[in-house]
Structure 1
Amino acid sequence: MPPHEDSFVSLDLLYGAHHGWLQGWLRRSVGCSHQAADLAQDTFVRLLVRGRPVSNQAPRALLARIARGLVIDHWRRDALERAYLEALAQLPEASHPSPEVRHEALQCLERIAQLLDGLKPQVREAFLLYQLGGLNHAQVAAQLGVSSRTAERHVASALLHCYRACFEATS
Structure 2
Amino acid sequence: MKDTMNHPSSAIDYLYVDNLSWLRQLIYRRMGCNELAADLAQDTFLRLLRKPQEFDSQEGIRAWLSRVAQGLCVDHWRHQEVERTWLETLAAQPEDHALSAEQQAILVETIYELDSMLSRLPEKIMQTFLLSQLHGKTYREISSEMGISERTVKNYMAKAMSLCLRVQLELETSQ
Q: How does 1:1-171 map to 2 (within 5 A)?
A: 3-5=2-4, 10-47=11-48, 49-50=49-50, 52=52, 55=55, 57-58=57-58, 59-167=61-169
TM-score in terms of structure 2 length: 0.75
SS in structure 1 of the partner of residue 129 of structure 2: helix
Which one has a larger percent helix, Structure 1 or Structure 2?
2
Deviation at 1:39, TM superposition (A): 0.7
TM-score in terms of structure 1 length: 0.76
Q: Tell me, yes or no, if the aligned pair for 1:23 and 1:40 is still in contact at 8 Å.
A: yes
Q: Tell me, yes or no, if the aligned pair for 1:39 and 1:67 is still in contact at 8 Å.
A: yes
Amino acid at match of 1:96: A
Q: Tell me, yes or no, if the aligned pair for 2:82 and 2:112 is still in contact at 8 Å.
A: yes
Identity among equivalent pairs (%): 35
Amino acid at match of 2:64: L
Q: Tell me, yes or no, if the aligned pair for 2:4 and 2:11 is still in contact at 8 Å.
A: no
Amino acid at match of 1:102: Q
Q: Distance in 2 between matches of 1:110 and 1:6?
A: 34
Task: Tell me whether 149-158 or 99-108 shows the greater mean CA deviation.
Answer: 149-158
Q: Distance in 2 between matches of 1:6 and 1:41?
A: 19
Count of aligned residue pairs for this structure pair: 167
Q: Tell me, yes or no, if the aligned pair for 1:7 and 1:57 is still in contact at 8 Å.
A: no
- Consecutive unaligned residues of structure 2, counting only runs of 5 or more, are none
SS in structure 1 of the partner of residue 158 of structure 2: helix
Distance change >3 Å, CA 152–CA 86, structure 1 → 2: farther
Amino acid at match of 2:57: Q
Amino acid at match of 2:26: W
Distance change >3 Å, CA 5–CA 132, structure 1 → 2: closer
CA RMSD of aligned residues (A): 3.1
Deviation at 1:51, TM superposition (A): 7.2
Amino acid at match of 1:119: L
